[in-house]
Amino acid sequence: MIERKTIKKSQLYLVDDYARFGWVEAQDGASDHLFGKTFDIIRNTDIPNFAEIARLEKIYFSREVHLKKYDFIDPGIAIVLFFFAIIPGVIYIIVKIIKKRKIDKENKEIRAELDAILERVDKLFGRETQSEKNAKLAEKSKKGKNESSKKAEEPKENE
């Protein structure tokens, strides 16, 4: 059985995330609706572990919406505050820095949860997980460093 979902143009940045959960772009692809372009995606529901994958997808996208966006320090406001009074300008910048750190910390925790979900989905699909890829890259770079250090030592031995 095939499951179909329509993605709004504003959600196109999520296409790669949907692909991790087994979704692919439908053959009929894009379609025009009243409020602009949308994209249809499909996936086979007969895949192994479908219920677990669907459950993880639901959790992933419900957590993903909690990621926050930081509003940077407005240079105009900072200049005006410094021009008229230094203390309010300093307070403004300190508050913004504290807010940024809080948002970064919360987003880091959410991203760690999202990455853990994607690792589980990759395992369910039998794909290589990101941590396995990172381990292989680290092993390759370690071997490359060992080989380059051996090559650097060889000319010294010949002399």
pTM across the whole model: 0.60
pLDDT, tens only, 98-154: 999 999 999 999 999 999 998 988 888 888 877 777 888 888 887 766 666 666 555
* DSSP secondary structure letter of residue 42: E
CA distance linking residue 129 with residue 64, whole number of Å: 19
Domain ranges of the chain: 1-46, 47-133
Q: Residue 21 belongs to what H/E stretch? A: none
Which residues share a beta bridge with 32?
Answer: 37
